[in-house]
Structure 1
Amino acid sequence: MLQFDEGSRKSGWFRGQCEEIANRYLLSRRETEVMFMLAKGYNAAYIQDQLYISKSTAKTHISHIYRKLNIHNQQELLAMIGEGRESRE
């Protein structure tokens, strides 16, 4: 019998919640990748390095994500993701 540890359950929920938000707000594939990294706590410089894009491109993606989600910063993104967990409990 296959068992998942608590960490993998949380990770699966987290990724699913990010995908749900991305679909609801019509984020592009790249914006979804960037949003997931933002939600994990990474900054524009880290995202730039990981996705092989310029810092200005990373910041543009972040700006578009915030505008589409009608939020202003990373903390609001985390709160939005967390709201999905509260509504299921």
Structure 2
Amino acid sequence: MPEYVELVCDEMPLSVVVLDPGPRAVEVTKVLRRLTGLSLWHSKTLISSVPATVLEDLPEDAAATAATALREAGALVEVRRQPMSPAQS
């Protein structure tokens, strides 16, 4: 009789994607700078080229915290699961 095995991943990496900076782009830029450590110029450039993945390879709690901070600043944000690469599987 064949045996079936189901693989369960503990935690898939997540990305935080800014879809729209909203009406308070300056506030969103400041929050992004605080979260990523990027310079103000790089943060502004990233926000002006939306949709933009601003953080990658985060655990679920860190992604949720970052998304909440960006939403509170006025941005439209999405948390996406990253597909696993063949090297990770």
Q: What's the TM-score, normalizing by structure 2?
A: 0.30
Q: Which has the larger radius of gyration?
A: 2
Decide which structure has greater helix share. Answer: 1
Decide which structure has greater strand share. Answer: 2
Q: What's the TM-score, normalizing by structure 1?
A: 0.30
